[in-house]
Amino acid sequence: MTNLLWLRRDLRRHDHPALGAAADGADVVALFVLDPVLLNGAGAARQAWLAATLRACDEAYEGRLVLRVGDPRQVVPEVAAEASASAVHVTAETTPFGRRRDAAVRRQLSQRGVAWVETGSPYAVTPPRVVNRQGDGYRVFTPFQRAWQDHGWRAPAADPPRLRLRRLESHPDARQWLDAATAGYPGALQAAGEQAALQRWEEFLENDLADYVTGQNRFDLDGTSRLSPHLKLGTIHPRTLLHDLAGRRGKGAQKFTAELCWREFYADVLWRQPASLWQDLRPELSTMAYQQDAEKLQRWREGRTGFPVVDAGMRQLLECGWMHNRARMLTASFLCKDLHQWWPVGARHFLDHLIDGDVASNNHGWQWVAGTGTDAAPYFRVFNPISQGLRFDPDGDYVRRYVPELRHLPGAAAHQPWDAADGYRHGYPEPMVDHATERREALARYQAARGR
């Protein structure tokens, strides 16, 4: 008997419940489908990261990962027939797109007499299992976190005692895509794949966890876990991380657990409110006045706003396919509160480029900044790009790393080139707006939208 394991956001061999279920008494064909619908909107960094991860996954699956290109509604049933598979095993999907796609594939398989088996999910607690006493979901993080922790999660899944992998040929187009995606990205990606994720996790536990509370906020330090790209493609599971954190005391462990919970909270919110992916979760600001200024938007995208730490963040995104989390909040606040643009414009740009671009976390994080999401009263939180830079990049190292026009300015002077006699000698742009003025404008628009 043969089962087909369709991999999506679970590109690993260990702690993999769906793999264990597929391997129970059967040979396994492991499949990944390169869906043009998802790839066409992905920037070079996202495609390169996926390609690197797939190469590592293929090696982990003994060179027998089957790669095909096309619409999964057609490809998965075709590969199931080619393998004479009796069932297709998957890790359950939770996003609106993934759920619709899976329902369509399941219908196609049912017509052919092939079973559909879902085991596990990309989360420690699968949405929508966290509920209050009335059986409803949460729209505020803190009570969700308490209920999430009370619910608990399973231990990491054991490896199948016997795994017999069958080989099918990958499509030539898929191999060509891998080569092109890898060659098309000029930046340096972090190491991809399950072994790289586990190694990074061990390094983080040993070197960075104790100082995580402060280290995660510093632009200039490598104090974050850098595991979000691995969590995005499932080369490591949050259940593995939580298992290793169990019993560890200290604020660092508590804070990192809370960050994992934020990821699960946003996934739960999206499950219950799928329209919130591209629409305001909270209707209170439905009449907010926004601007549509293509020139300003392009300057923000390119990192030419004239505010050094904002530009450093935006250029880090374009160069690396990743951005420091505080820089994400700061650049998002600048677009929404200083340039008065609607958050989906920025959310789409981030998803095009971030190698860890998870739609639930990304889009609800944008809503948190924009004041339309889960936070109770966040609109008055307007990040000051100058003070944020001085506080979290005190020596200007982050700015100089990504904004070469300011490398001649020493120390904190890189954050305020307008105060230096030669601050603009290398062509760095002057500030495109006055932050204090735009902050007042943002709050006035907020009051008008609330009818005050």
Is 54 labeled as ligand-binding? no
Residue range(s) occupied by CATH 3.40.50.620 in the chain: 1-120
- CATH 1.25.40.80 residue spans of the chain: 123-155+192-272
The proportion of the chain whose per-residue pLDDT surpasses 90, expressed as a percent, equals 90
Per DSSP, helices labelled H in 371-452 are: 385-392, 397-402, 435-449
| Mean pLDDT of the 176-181 span | 94
Binding residue per annotation — 264?
Answer: yes
Identify the architecture of domain 294-451 in CATH. Answer: Orthogonal Bundle (1.10)
Q: Residue 285 has what pLDDT?
A: 86
Sorting pLDDT into bands at 50, 70 and 90, what band is 451? confident
Q: Kindly give, in sequence order, each residue whose CB lies less than 8 Å from that of residue 111, ignoring residues fewer than 6 positions away.
A: none
133 is in an annotated binding site: no
> What's the pLDDT at 189?
81
Q: What is the pLDDT of residues 68-115, one digit of tens each?
A: 999 999 999 999 999 999 999 999 999 999 999 999 999 999 999 999
C-beta separation of 22 from 5 below 8 A: yes
* 212 marked among binding-site residues: yes
Please provide the DSSP assignment of 93-123 as one string.
Answer: P-SHHHHHHHHHHHHHHHHTT-EEEE---SS
The HSE-up count of residue 181 (CA atoms within 13 Å, CB side) is 24
Q: Is 383 annotated as a binding residue?
A: no
The yes-or-no verdict on residue 376 having pLDDT over 80 is no
| Cα–Cα distance, 167 to 156 (Å, whole number) | 27
Tokens of 135: 């059986």
Highest averaged pLDDT of the listed ranges 263-277, 374-388, 437-451: 263-277
262 is in an annotated binding site: yes
Q: Which CATH class is domain 1-120?
A: alpha beta
Identify the pLDDT of residue 249.
87
Residue 409 structure tokens? 């300015």
Q: Please state, in angstroms and rounded to a whole number, the distance separating the CA atoms of residues 65 and 305.
A: 45
Query: In angstroms, rounded to a whole number, what is the distance separating the alpha carbons of residues 452 and 444?
Result: 9
Q: What is the band of 452 on the pLDDT scale with cuts at 50, 70, 90?
A: low
221-236 pLDDT, tens per residue? 989 999 999 999 999 9
* pLDDT single digits (tens) 180-212: 998 877 777 889 999 999 999 999 999 999 999
Portions of the chain given CATH number 1.10.579.10:
294-451
Q: Which residue has the tokens 């995104």?
A: 317
pLDDT of residue 378: 64
Quote the pLDDT of residue 253: 96
Residue 202 in marked binding region: no
Q: What pTM does this model have?
A: 0.95
Q: Is 357 annotated as a binding residue?
A: yes
pLDDT digits (tens, 9 = 90+) for 290-348: 999 999 999 999 999 999 999 999 999 999 999 999 999 999 999 999 999 999 999 99
pLDDT at 21: 98
Q: Which secondary-structure segment (H or E) carries 69?
A: strand 66-69
d(CA 9, CA 137): 24
Number of H helices, E strands in the chain: 20, 5
- Res 152 pLDDT > 90: yes
390 is in an annotated binding site: no
Element (H, E) at 33: strand 27-34
> Where is 161: in which H helix or E strand?
none
**C-alpha dist (Å) from residue 169 to 66, 205, 358:** 6, 40, 30
Average pLDDT in the 44-72 region?
A: 96
260 is in an annotated binding site: yes
Rg (CA), the chain: 23
Q: Is 358 annotated as a binding-site member? A: yes
The span from the CA of 156 to the CA of 220, in Å, is 34
How far is 367 from 441, CA to CA, in rounded Å?
19
The listed CATH number (1.10.3720.10, 3.40.50.300, 1.20.1090.10, 1.25.40.80) that belongs to domain 123-155+192-272: 1.25.40.80
Residue 398 assigned ligand-binding role: no
pLDDT of amino acid 60: 97
Tokens 């699960």 belong to residue = 264
Residue 62, marked binder: no
Report yes or no: 35 and 70 within 8 Å, Cβ to Cβ: yes
Q: Is 356 annotated as belonging to a binding site?
A: yes
Q: 444: buried, middle or exposed (CB in 10 Å: 19+, 13-18, 0-12)? A: exposed
pLDDT digits (tens, 9 = 90+) for 403-446: 999 999 999 999 999 999 999 999 999 999 999 999 999 999 99
DSSP 165: B
Q: Is 256 annotated as a binding residue?
A: yes
